[in-house]
Amino acid sequence: MVGVSTAIILDTRRALTDGTYPIKLRITHQRKQKYFPTDFSLSETDFAKTKTDNPRGKAKELQIAFQAIEQQAIKVIKKLSIFTIEAFEKHYLNTAAKDDVFSAFDHSIACLTKEEQVGTAGTYENASISLLAFINKQPLTSNKGLTKKEAKARREALLKKRKPLLFSTITPDFLKEYERWMLAGGKSLTTISIYVRALRTLFNESIAAGDVHQDLYPFGKRKYQVPAGRNVKKALPLAEIEKIFVYEPRHDSEAQARDLWLFSYLCNGINIKDIARLKYRQIQKGSIIFIRAKTERTTRQNLKPIIVILTPEVEQIIKKWGNKPIYPEAYVFPILKEGLTPEKELAVVKQATKTINKYIKRIGATIGIEGNISTYTARHSYATVLKRAGVSTAFISESLGHGTERTTQNYLDSFEDEVKREFTSYLTAFKSK
């Protein structure tokens, strides 16, 4: 528009406490100027680097971010039939809200909750709170040991400090620093991967909607690469699984936890949520057929039912612990009840998982199994035992309900230590001659 100009400037009128100066968007109209703040501040030297024809590294990232801010302003100006500073400010601030990471998180959390994906919604909320603590330079603390009331109060206190976080602020350097902060706070690469992948999803959605420019995308080769977050998942060898089979439980709670753990192991590594959701109508002609709750909403176009062979051991567990009377729509196991909200269902499944883990750890300690045992161990043991028996990765992938064989590789545990020692001994086999 004639008579209106935009510029990204370094406001050197007053230095910040760290010696840098704020970066601002300047709008000029009829010799009047209005300055709008950004999330950036730089020294005069670093700002000058962003103004060169061929900046590199961080200066290049900042140049792209500054250009995106200016382009956003120009887009608003073009939409105004009559330009005034006041009209621009109103529309620019409304448009800027679409560039706010926290607003994007709020929107996704609301949508996920509406779609009853409360677990994923909780993950997005935790990722949002983590980023908020990071940009406010808050110590990374856990809610472990806090009551629900205390955890809620801590979250609300942090939310009071919330200010917009523009997508343009999320550069590769920002993400690398966030990763270092998370690691320093004791968080695992798996947690970092989960949180950053949530942020990456928001980036992709905002770019697809036209709210964020593609050039701002900070992920990928030569940018920030999301950590694989692969943990060493300890699977049990058959000898130790046999000990769990023959163990004599001391009471019903221990017996039920042991049997549900074995049910998971015997039924394709089925997780506790899917065990809880099983209904008798899914038991058909010597098989159990189910679709993983984890994938039923995310892969609706290509749902893959998992077929479990109904072995005598599995039938015995159902007969012992299954709900009575038996009818098609009844849950197989007494974990869930009809009519629960998604939030309540999630809480019940978490409690059931916690109870099984508590007793299976005690059993493991009693029968001399070293290391941590949990419901995840059952799933990993199922996959690993089949691998060591020579079963193809393709079959294991299908039976676990994975979309790709690459995902399955994360479940295939390394060989037992005894096997490693045997293989390593080959390196010095000449000594025995």
Q: Which domains can be identified in the chain, with CATH numbers? A: 4-97 (no CATH), 101-216 (no CATH), 238-420 (1.10.443.10)
Full pLDDT tens readout for the chain, 433 residues: 568 889 999 999 888 888 899 899 999 988 888 898 887 889 999 999 999 988 888 888 888 888 888 888 888 888 888 888 888 887 776 665 677 888 888 888 888 887 778 888 889 988 988 998 898 877 766 666 667 677 667 777 777 767 778 888 899 999 999 999 999 888 888 899 999 999 999 999 888 877 788 888 999 888 999 987 555 557 888 899 999 999 999 999 999 999 999 999 999 899 999 999 999 999 988 899 988 877 665 555 556 788 898 999 999 999 999 999 999 999 999 999 999 988 899 899 999 999 999 999 999 999 999 888 999 999 888 888 888 888 888 888 888 887 777 767 765 655 555 565 666 566 656 555 5
What pLDDT is attached to residue 151?
66
* Block residue for tokens 């704020």: 22
**Tokens found for residue 60:** 């290049």
What pLDDT is attached to residue 213?
81
Cβ pair 76, 91 in contact under 8 A: yes
- In terms of DSSP H, where are the helices of 98-185? 101-114, 118-135, 148-159, 172-184
Helix axes 189-208, 101-114, angle to 10 degrees: 90
Report residue 26: phi and psi, to 5°: -110, 125
Cβ pair 374, 363 in contact under 8 A: no
**Tokens found for residue 57:** 């590294």
Q: What is the dihedral of CA 192, 195, 197, 201, to 10 degrees?
A: -160
Bridge partner list, 378: none
Q: How much is the pTM? A: 0.62
Q: Where does residue 290 fall: left (phi above 0), alpha (psi -120 to 50 degrees), or beta otherwise? A: beta
What pLDDT is attached to residue 143?
60
- C-alpha closest to that of 10 among 35, 37, 44: 44
For residue 138, what are the CA distances in angstroms to 126, 153, 154, 247?
15, 15, 12, 48
CA angle 268, 232, 223 (to 5 degrees): 110
What span, in angstroms and rounded, lies between the C-alpha atoms of 149 and 143? Answer: 11
What span, in angstroms and rounded, lies between the C-alpha atoms of 145 and 99? Answer: 36
Instruction: Give the single-character DSSP code of 235.
Output: P
Cβ pair 248, 398 in contact under 8 A: no
User: Long-range contacts made by residues 190-195, C-beta under 8 angstroms, separation at least 24?
Assistant: 190/229, 190/230, 190/231, 191/229, 192/227, 192/229, 193/226, 193/227, 193/228, 193/229, 194/123, 194/127, 194/229, 195/123, 195/126, 195/127, 195/130, 195/131
- C-alpha closest to that of 244 among 332, 362, 380, 386: 362
What pLDDT is attached to residue 419?
60
**Tokens found for residue 39:** 């999330």
Most distant CA atoms of the chain, gap in Å: 94
What pLDDT is attached to residue 248?
95
**Tokens found for residue 70:** 């200016």
CA angle 83, 10, 76 (to 5 degrees): 25
Cis peptide before 325 (omega within 30 of 0): yes
What pLDDT is attached to residue 55?
87
Helix axes 238-246, 252-266, angle to 10 degrees: 140
* Block residue for tokens 């949990």: 374
3-state secondary structure of 390: coil
Cβ pair 40, 22 in contact under 8 A: yes
What pLDDT is attached to residue 233?
58
